[in-house]
Every structure is written in C-alpha cells, then in structure tokens.
Amino acid sequence: MTQIAWWHNVVIVSKCQSTEEATYYVHHTLHHGWSRSVLTHQIESKLWQREGRAINNFSQTLPAPRSDLADKMRGHMDPSEYKHVVLGLIFLKYISDAFEEKMMRLTSELSEKFVESRRLEDEIRKNLEGLGFDV
C-alpha cells in the first residue's frame, strides 16, 4: 500500500469492508491510476461487488465450451472494459476470414493460370517436335 498516496490508503481503509475488497481497490488504483475522487466513486458505487457479475447471455448464445471460455476470459472485468476485448476479437475474426477468402481466390486464380501455362507449354513443345527440334 506504499505505492499509492496516503489519502488513497485512508479512503480504502475507511470504506472497504474486507481485506479482499481493499486489495482489489489497491490493485485497480495502481493499474488504472485512479485519483482519490475516482477511487471514492468506485468504492461508493460498489465496483468490487458488481464487477464480473454482470448478467450475460453467454450460455444461451454460445455452445457449452465457448460460453464457459467467454465467461472465464471475462473474469472480473467490467462489461464496459470487456466490450473492447470482444470488439478486438470480432475485428480479428473479420480480418482473418477476409484474408482466408482472398487467399482462396488467389490460389484458385493462380491454379487456373498454372494449368493454362502448362497447356501452352505442352502445345509449344509439340509444335517444336513437329518442326524437328529435339526438346
């Protein structure tokens, strides 16, 4: 608790009901750089009690292994913070799908061009052999 300002300590000690709650607010104060007024607001709004316990529809919208993973990944993260993680994952999935689609299209086009190139090569070889060249 020596890493945060004295008055932050006073607020935490005077307002928290348990050691776990106090540790939670110390950690978040350090991590987020909360001012004393922000810390006071977070304690009074009971962030510790509500964080990570938000109602979600993971079990209704995702198959069992995925809903458990989504809930575990969210952990004690506030839903307002979790949306940034999810939006990043959705964007990553979108980019990955777009890349895969583009790769498949390019592979198909190159494959067609390779077949055409091979056909032309065989035709040239046949014409040169017909003219008496040793190929």
Q: What is the pLDDT of residues 18-76, one digit of tens each?
A: 888 898 899 889 988 999 999 999 899 888 777 655 556 666 777 777 777 776 766 66
Give residue-wise pLDDT tens across range 2-25. 688 898 999 999 999 988 889 889
pTM above 0.85, yes or no: no
As a whole number of angstroms, the distance between CA 48 and CA 19 comes to 12
Give residue-wise pLDDT tens across range 74-91. 666 666 777 777 788 889
Q: Do 15 and 41 meet the contact criterion of CB atoms below 8 Å apart?
A: no
Question: Residues with Cβ < 8 Å from 102, sequence gap 6 or more?
Answer: none
As a whole number of angstroms, the distance between CA 91 and CA 64 comes to 23
